[in-house]
Structure 1
Amino acid sequence: MSSGSLPLISRFAALLAALGCWATAWVPISSTRPDAPFTIEYGLFDHQIDNPMAIVLAATWLVTLLAGLAWLPGAPRWWPFVALAAVAVQIATAILHALPTGVFWDGMDEFGNPTGGYEEILPATGWWLLVLATALMLLAALVPLVRRRRAPRGR
């Protein structure tokens, strides 16, 4: 490892964190229960008024930018601190999507009788990908900080 560059484990952890966030474009983060009468799934690109995916998209771009900076030769000394800020945003995002929300729906059956109900939206497989990406980014941020702390100081 050259001086000024991040450890290889930090670089790969940041890269895997970014890939984990982008995987939520295809894997839903939130979904209705499997026994619900219909399925609602929210992923990375599902932007609706009642769906807080904009913060997920912003956090994904932040993690991607940091993953790219990690691979630059002579990565900035402030990189781990910004990565820790990204971890805080990711934790807020994970908490936001861990809280159950719901959707009220209504309609009519074939006889004209009113129907309706409430469907609870819970974390899905993509939520676990976000949690894994958060843990990987935390690892990527802590390794250089621990190495700096343990490095012998020159006089």
Structure 2
Amino acid sequence: MERTYSFTETVICGLIATFMMSMLSFLSSGIGLPVIDVGYMLKEIFNHIHEQDPYNILWGNVAYYIGGILLALIYVVFLDNKLPGNWLVKGILYGVIISIVAAVIVSPAISMAGGESFGIFYMDTWFPVLNILAGLIMHLGYGITLLLCLEFSDRFRAA
């Protein structure tokens, strides 16, 4: 059975999943993993080309949450009916896909825009394996939360 989701449902689920990803990033420091504060990184990148720092953390977090919404929209439009399994399997698969794309394309490109280099799979950082693991935990949390929210969003629709 093919499911459909409204734009509003997808946006709300994307916001919730992004929040979960943020919390997992901050909490993972408790087990010795690096905190990956994407909002802060984006703020620093926005300010990199300016003499002063016109952007504050709010703008970095706005960009981060818009990215999370875009990931939810990408999933619903392109992948929902193509990935196998139930919502949990799809969430895990999507989390792994996001983590790989982030490690190979997004993080290296964003870090270079900020004047640094994380490298592919964070190879230019001090602890690439820890960064890979931290990113994977964040993205698995995002994928699972997104799919959980989408799975049960129809229960909250107005009758």
Q: Which has the higher helix share?
A: 2
Which entry has the higher C-alpha Rg, 1 or 2?
Answer: 1
**TM-score of the alignment, normalized to the shorter chain, above 0.5:** no
TM range (shorter): 0.3 to 0.5
